[in-house]
Amino acid sequence: MNNIHKTAIIEDGAIIGDDVTIGAYTIIGKDVKIGNNNTIASHTLITGYTSIGDNNKIYSHAALGSEPQDLKYAGEKVELIIGNDNKIREFTLFNPGTSGGGSVTRIGNNNLFMGYVHVAHDVIIKNNCVFANVATLAGHVEIENNVVVGGLTPIHQFCKLGSHVMIGGGSVVTQDIPSFCLAQGNHANVRGINLNGLRRKFSREDINAIKLAYKDLFESGLPLSETAKDLIKNSNNSYVIELATFVSNTKRGIPFTRKTKEN
């Protein structure tokens, strides 16, 4: 059975699954689809063509699916798709896509969005990520699995963060951050590998392989693109290949301090 507060407004056409709790003064738009076993707290707005999976917990004053903050948006049909088992805290703002970016903002499973996090239009977020308070993702940002973004951190449009990346709090990300790396600063630079994060999930052998690949890429002083191609060609470790492929395919470049003979 659903538990819907008498002051909540559910517009005709909205689809609500089973075992859903909806708090006081929450508004659910007519084109919204909500799956099973979701908890939606008071004073929440869910609007537009927004689809939400199962087992999510959405806290008060979240605004999900309102028009994208893009001057090119002209009222076309665009979507926000949210997966399962996410926690979406107070005063978060998630926008749908735009026609220029595929028309979809897509969020995967088991992510934590702390207070005041903004997910802009056409953002793609995969699974098991954490976004601390006031993390701000501009349009077209892509986030792979198991990423942690520190608080008060903006990420520039079209940036991509690889899997198992850690961004220090208060950073400003303006370029791509490769898988398994730690970055911080204004502007954020790659500072090393995300060793603490990797130790929770990876074998010592794989961590050592990633360490060696990182040194080849960022500490050898050799051309980055050529080193990445050599690693892809010669390594038999899937994580090394993932790291090198990310570097090889970057569109916005990798921010790091290049080694020279002097340093």
Cite the active site residues. Answer: 121-122, 139
Check residue 99 and report its DSSP letter. Answer: G
Tokens standing for residue 46: 């869910």
The Cβ of residue 251 has, within 10 Å, a number of other Cβ atoms equal to: 9
For strands 79-82 and 39-40, give the pairing: unpaired
Beta-carbon contacts of residue 78 (< 8 Å; ≥ 6 apart): 48, 49, 68, 96, 97, 98, 99, 103, 104, 121
Question: Are the C-beta atoms of 144 and 163 separated by less than 8 Å?
Answer: yes
What are 237-241's contacts with CB under 8 Å, separation 24+?
Answer: 237/206, 237/209, 237/210, 237/213, 239/179, 239/180, 239/202, 239/206, 239/209, 239/210, 240/209, 240/210, 240/212, 240/213
Which amino acid does the sequence have at 253? G
Residue among 156, 158, 147 nearest 108 (CA): 147
Which amino acid does the sequence have at 179? S
